[in-house]
Structure 1
Amino acid sequence: FQVLYFPMFLLLDMPRRIVTYTPQTDWGLLNLTATLGGFIFGGAQLLLFYNLYRSSRVGPPSGPNPWEAWTLEWALPSPPPPHDFDVIPTFQADGTIRFGSGPGLPNGSGHSNEIGYPNGSSVHGSTSPLHHEGLSPWPVLMAFATFIFFLGLTIGKPANPQPVSYQPFWPLIADGVILGIISLFGYSRETFTVHEDMHVESWPFKQVPNMKLGIWTFLGAEVIFFGVLIGSYFFVRTNDAAWPPAGTLFDIRNGFAMTLVLLTSSLTAIMALASARAGNRSGLIVSLGGTLILGAAFLYIKAGEWFSLGGSGVFQNYSLPATSYFITTGTHGVHVFAGMCMTVYLLANAIRGKYLNGDHTTLEHFGLYWHFVDIVWVFLFPLFYLI
């Protein structure tokens, strides 16, 4: 490992992707050393595979805890079940670990055959049931769709040599989007079961339903995500002397129109929830339809602005401002589109008569997400269009 990588530190003055170089650079010996280290390091991996093969064929099984360890990672059977523990483990002041009502495993003490089985079950007794919802194939398909999508962005080619403009490989991008939608739909159709321990501390969220707490946690992560994008904008803005004056690059009228449309869509989302609580089916359908139309209008205006800026040579004259703008507003546009997909799902259920008999919490959770998307735009509008 050191023979392979340590010479690379000494080659810090060598540019990347250099195939040939003159002897006067003194890079030859260091590159030769790294090459030899690479062959040695790669050959050593054969020992790893040989060890895996031999261990699977020779010798007794190691068991769930061959090290006689007492920490949680070894307090499971081998192979571990998808859900790990049936009951959340609890820790006592003396270091004892308890699984439900089973006997404790004191810190540093010897273990019987009970170790390795969650919820206090015996090595000779029944095993814990499998949670089949943990074996979903949809996250794997979603990850593959993401890979296909970004592969389409990566392997694109320059459309014109002068000036250089980039043309993504749209068939792969379309395949990634289609597979992503299929995986999201399949994942949404699955049934999730959460087994909660009644002996864990629930303060300060005791009165908050788990689903709403999950939505707020998700939105907290989104705040961090958009905070990074906006922070990058501030960094670029304060360090770029050629930032265009307000109103010269981004049309204020477009920004105001999008702000008005998106804020109005928040009103229709609130009206949808109020209609559901009042049992007004037609009001619910009209409000959700209005939210969908207003979201589409926002993306229509935004797409027109994107295409107009993309064809104006903005990347040549204002590369950093344009990059900051397209990444930030593009990410926000993806969130708006995701909210529109949710609205289509809610609208289809509303047409079938759902959300009118007290089961309107889904609308409330959607409203939290949609209002968050609107709040983000309230920050983006003045940052890009007014300042």
Structure 2
Amino acid sequence: MSGYDDSEHPVEPWGPHDWSHGAPHNSFSPIFMSMGIALFFFMMAQAWSFGTYTPGYIPGILLALAIVGFALFIWWRQDISFDGSYEPRSTGVPFKNIQIRKVAVWVFLMSEMMVFTSLFSTYMRYRLGIENCGDMYERLEASHELVSGATYTCFEPASHLIASSGWHLTPGAINTFALILSSFTIVQALRYAKMPDIDEEVRRRKVYRYLGSTWCLAVLFLTLKMVEWFIGFHVPEIGFLGISEHDIHPLVAEGYTINADAYTHHDYHDFIMNIQVSASLFYVTTGTHGAHVAGGIVGLSYMTYKAWRGGYTPTNAVSIEYFGLYWHFVDLVWVLVFPFFYLY
């Protein structure tokens, strides 16, 4: 029994909900979001299949994004009024008396751990199982078996190109600092949201500024990722440091791509490499992490808006805590990705 008359407190799936009388069980947002995400991945796989681009699937991709956006809009419209008056708890073992949303976040993070564990283990399997391009080059050159114009399949880690100079490594290093700093800002947002004896206007400003700072750092991360992959940057002359003017080319311009079957590097004279496996592992792993950052940006956009409206108080600050669990996980993954793929 619900204990109250539903006719007196109708549940509205399209807008703010009367949380004091229970959660809105009739929301269709999760179903629509799942359908949109599934359609998006299917269309993406069809549009870029085996290195071939098929523009006919772009409308399907846009439709999928529209479905996801619609579901998010409805979800956020329902959550915008959440004041913490209704936080359901689990009644079963082993999660008894723990908030259901917290349990869901931890279950989700456990599934994410399996995703990234698979990516890391695959990387190490091929990294150790396929001969390194540098070792192969030295072996063939020493034995005079290097054939001019021939293509050799080997493992060329992205770190050989990225860590070849401090400038190539700069975007990744800045990104590492940015994500670590973002973990601090999200904790500060939660800290001020939970403070019981603080002026509400001060709380509002502190929470939305710290959430906004986290959003900015996340956007900086993806921006530098695009610079590293596709754009590159110009280094001006700095005479007193002995730095000459030059351009840092992005990875794609350097030829480090997932379909690179004729890759060359200035360290190897007349040595043509097929590096599709190593490049694919780099882009899939770092791209998957980047997709998680992008998802965090979407969530932070809404949370910052809600904080700007003064929507977070000690009674509902747990929403920031739940997002913080996800965000700390994303940061931790990058702390592992950076040395594995950028330095090793």
Which bin holds the TM-score, normalised by the shorter protein?
Answer: 0.5 to 0.7
One of 215, 219, 222 as aligned partner of 1:292: 215
One of 93, 118, 142 as aligned partner of 1:202: 93
Quick check: 2:29–2:72 contact (8 Å CA) kept in 1?
no
CA gap 1:381/1:148 in 2 versus in 1, 3 angstroms: closer
In structure 1, the residue matched to 2:161 is 249
Gaps of 5+ in 2: 2-22, 80-85, 132-153, 163-167, 231-249, 264-274
Distance 1:366 1:138 in 2: 17
Distance 1:363 1:222 in 2: 19
Q: Does 1:359 align with 2:316?
A: yes
Counterparts of 1:1-387 in structure 2, within 5 Å, are: 133=25, 136=28, 139-140=31-32, 142-144=34-36, 146-155=38-47, 166=53, 169-187=57-75, 189=77, 201-203=92-94, 205-241=95-131, 242-244=154-156, 247-250=159-162, 251-278=168-195, 279=198, 280-307=203-230, 308-315=250-257, 316=260, 317=263, 318-387=275-344
**Cα drift, residue 179 of structure 1:** 2.0
| SS of corresponding position for 1:304 | helix
Distance 1:324 1:366 in 2: 28
Quick check: 1:149–1:175 contact (8 Å CA) kept in 2?
no
**Cα drift, residue 243 of structure 1:** 2.6
CA gap 1:304/1:165 in 2 versus in 1, 3 angstroms: farther
RMSD: 3.2
In structure 2, the residue matched to 1:103 is none
Amino acid at match of 1:147: L
Q: What do the CA deviations read for 1:188-228 (whole angstroms, capped 9, x no partner)?
A: 5569x999896xx534x335322212211111111111111
CA gap 1:188/1:240 in 2 versus in 1, 3 angstroms: farther
| SS of corresponding position for 2:251 | helix
**Cα drift, residue 260 of structure 1:** 0.6
Distance 1:157 1:216 in 2: 34
Gaps of 5+ in 1: 1-85, 87-130, 159-163
CA gap 1:221/1:303 in 2 versus in 1, 3 angstroms: same
Quick check: 1:149–1:172 contact (8 Å CA) kept in 2?
no
CA gap 1:151/1:372 in 2 versus in 1, 3 angstroms: same
CA gap 1:331/1:156 in 2 versus in 1, 3 angstroms: closer
Q: What do the CA deviations read for 1:167-199 (whole angstroms, capped 9, x no partner)?
A: 6554432332222222233345569x999896x
| SS of corresponding position for 1:249 | helix
**Cα drift, residue 363 of structure 1:** 0.7
In structure 2, the residue matched to 1:30 is none
Quick check: 1:339–1:370 contact (8 Å CA) kept in 2?
yes
Structure of higher RCO (CA pairs closer than 8 Å, 6+ residues apart): 2
Distance 1:274 1:194 in 2: 19
**Cα drift, residue 310 of structure 1:** 2.6
**Cα drift, residue 133 of structure 1:** 3.7
Compute the TM-score of the two structures, normalised by the length of structure 1: 0.57
Compute the TM-score of the two structures, normalised by the length of structure 2: 0.64
Quick check: 1:138–1:186 contact (8 Å CA) kept in 2?
no
| SS of corresponding position for 1:314 | coil
**Cα drift, residue 274 of structure 1:** 1.1
Distance 1:144 1:282 in 2: 34
Quick check: 1:271–1:287 contact (8 Å CA) kept in 2?
yes
Q: How many residues align?
A: 250
CA gap 1:283/1:182 in 2 versus in 1, 3 angstroms: same
CA gap 1:195/1:268 in 2 versus in 1, 3 angstroms: closer
Whose radius of gyration is greater, 1 or 2? 1
Quick check: 2:47–2:53 contact (8 Å CA) kept in 1?
no
Quick check: 1:148–1:173 contact (8 Å CA) kept in 2?
yes
**Cα drift, residue 246 of structure 1:** 6.6
Distance 1:166 1:328 in 2: 21
**Cα drift, residue 314 of structure 1:** 1.6
**Cα drift, residue 283 of structure 1:** 1.4
**Cα drift, residue 343 of structure 1:** 0.9
